Structure 1
Amino acid sequence: MTLTRKPVVAGTFYPRLEKDIIKLIDESFLDENFGIGKEFTIDNTKDGKRKVLGGISPHAGYIYSASCAAHTIQEIFREGAPDTIIILGTQHTGYYNIGIMKNGIWKTPLGELNIDSVISSDLIQESPEIIEDDSAFNGFPHGREHNIEVQLPLIQYAAKKAKKEITFVPIKIGQMEKNVLQDLGKAIANVIKKYQNKDIAIIASSDMTHYQPRNPHNPEFEINNTQKIRDQAVIDAFKEFNWEKTLTKANETTVCGPQTITTLMIAAKELGYKYAKDLKYFTSYEKMGSRTPCDYSVGYFSGIILNE
């Protein structure tokens, strides 16, 4: 029997109704201050190896972070819709393995996305660290995890524009050890190399620093001089395409996906990609109009890895 994962954060992190999701994503792309300032487009320029392997995409509520995620989605899809997207997910529920859902369907209000069972199976065979674990994504307590799910309506939106059916592979990474992440990144790269005729992209799901201003009624100085400086150190390491430095800097902060970003970078290096580029960064404080009091501010970053 095919296992179907139903949406658990529809109506909270993103709208419950299809028309409202599409409207919000449209607005996120068109946002001139935080989005790309224009409609989503596809140039269909891919010729051979994918130019943009993938990127970092935030996973907060859409009103906060979808305009940042739009930058990553646009660049991944610009040269054409991939066949499969590997989503590297973090964990917020105390999951400490590297779990993969090998078979099944994930539903959102925009429809269904099938898991690429061939790629999933090969990843399990390639790495002893990866285990097939449906419980990492379904049921209590891990089924309430949002960080992979919130990427899906954005992918479905882009796939619909491309008029293409896309599959995906969900990987929840609960491990943080450098050597484990290095092995994982290499395993992902080896599987991608195996399928030269399959267009595979990677999304690393991660928000940036989570910061609580000591003075919520006058938070701007702290956000600019503490939160943003911490995040910029991670972004600079990413732009240097130095995965070890990125992991170190991210672990010095409350970035909630050091392991997803690092795994993406390792896989990319193994595949011969040479450059990392920052696209957009802002905080939830700024996105909400810099209103006070501000008890909590989260950073959002969009960056991609490319080969030219």
Structure 2
Amino acid sequence: MGIRKPIVAGQFYESDFNSLNKQIIECFESKKGPGALPINKRKYCVLGAVVPHAGYFFSGSCAAWSYKAIAESEFPDLFIIIGPNHSGMGRTSTILDDWETPFGIVKADKEFGKKLINNSCIVEDSIAHLHEHSIEVQLPFLQFVSRDHLKDLRFIPITVGFDCNVGEIASGIKKTIQESCKKICIIASSDFTHYGFSYGYVPFSTDVKENMQKLDNGAISFIKSLDSRGFLEYVNKKQATICGAVPIAVLIELMIGKAKKVNLMQYYTSADIMGDYNNAVGYASIVFK
């Protein structure tokens, strides 16, 4: 087992420690962010979150809302990060390598990972993780808000395909969590609607801002009601370009019977940053408690 090196440092986020630290602080303190750390610890657990995975310039301020909630809650024993497989390479899989970012090494929980492989359809396969950014971009944020617990920070990455069995994946993860007796926070890495000719998705040509928000709000309503089947049916019906629909559906399944509150913390689109509605992507930060 080796170390998974960063592949989008210098592209999606800054590639050196000081610049990255400054960039993440700006994500929190920006107009669309949740406000600066330090934070006050509260007596609740963030059980899960939906977090965007675009470049920090675009979605970092949205992601910061979930990570501030995580920072304010009880620190879990393990983070499970579930991301989509944009390249289509490889299988629904995990890897047991530690991961490197400009902030240092994030250790994988190898014992949990081995049990997960034994309990589920999830295999150990590095191919799906070679060119995938959706998990990597979560790690610097996770390190940033876990500074007081870095030696205890552990995670497991799971990359899922677009046509896999949501129930089967969730069942294997749930069984492994139950056997582990650990406090766990699950992050589904996903952007929302990708609109425009660049994405091959133009279901409307007027009132783009309002229609994008309406489309994404429809999906978010199913997430908030913990209805994974309704969510996936909505995505299929609308042919919605939500890249992490499967990770979100798996997260919903795992939150049923656990989460008592589901809060939309922030929503905006790349067009709110750039002013370009010809091609735009929606971002949402959703927290499960």
Using the size of structure 1 for normalisation, the TM-score is: 0.85
Alignment partner of 1:302: what SS? strand
Contact 1:98 1:175 (C-alpha < 8 Å) held by counterparts? no
Contact between 1:213 and 1:222, CA under 8 Å: does it hold in 2? no
Distance in 1 between the 2:148 and 2:279 partners?
35
Matches of 1:213 and 1:147, distance apart in 2 = 22
Query: Residue type matched to 2:73 in 1?
Result: E
Summarize deviations over 1:51-82 as a string: whole Å, max 9, x none.
Answer: 32111000000010011111111212312322
SS in 2 for 1:193: helix
Could you list the runs of 5+ residues in structure 1 that have no partner in the other structure?
138-142
Counterpart in the other structure of 1:39:
37
Deviation per CA, 1:256-306: give whole Å up to 9, x if none.
01000000010111x532432211100011023x3x5x4421000010122
Contact kept? 2:226, 2:255, Cα under 8 Å: no
Change (3 A) 1:300 1:161: farther
Q: 1:94 to 1:253 in 2, by over 3 A?
A: same
The equivalent position to 2:261 in structure 1, one of 258, 275, 279, is: 275
Provide closer, same or farther for how the CA distance between residues 96 and 24 of structure 1 changes in structure 2, counting only shifts above 3 A. Answer: same
**Counterpart position of 1:115:** 108
Say whether 1:222 aligns with 2:207. yes
8 Å Cα contact 2:46/2:74 also seen in 1: no
Q: Distance between the aligned counterparts of 2:4 and 2:14, measured in 1? A: 18
Say if 2:27 is the partner of 1:28.
yes
Specify whether residues 161 and 282 from structure 1 end up closer, same or farther in structure 2 by C-alpha distance, changes over 3 A only. farther
Partners of 2:123 and 2:197 lie apart in 1 by: 40
Q: Secondary structure at the match of 1:52?
A: coil
Q: After the TM superposition, list the runs of 4 or more consecutive aligned residues in structure 1 that deviate by more than 6 angstroms.
A: none
Residue type matched to 1:244 in 2?
R
Task: Provide the C-alpha distance between the structure 2 equivalents of 1:26 and 1:228, rounded to a whole number of angstroms.
Answer: 27
Aligned to 2:201: none
Aligned residues: 282
* 2:47 counterpart (40, 44, 53): 53
Where does residue 210 of structure 1 map in the other structure? Answer: 194
Q: 2: CA distance between counterparts of 1:68 and 1:96?
A: 30
> Does 2:246 correspond to 1:259?
yes
**Alpha-carbon distance in 2 for matches of 1:124, 1:65:** 32
- For 1:164 and 1:220, the matched residues in 2 are separated by 50
Match of 2:64 among 64, 67, 70: 70
Q: Please report the TM-score for the alignment, with normalisation by the length of structure 2.
A: 0.91
| Equivalent residue number for residue 171 of structure 1 | 158
Give the root-mean-square deviation of aligned CA atoms: 2.1
Residue by residue over 1:224-269, the C-alpha shift from the partner in whole angstroms, topping out at 9 and shown as x without a partner, is 2332221111011111221111122233310101000000010111
Which moved further from structure 2: 224-233 or 61-70? 224-233
Asked if the contact 1:206/1:261 (under 8 Å) is kept, the reply is yes
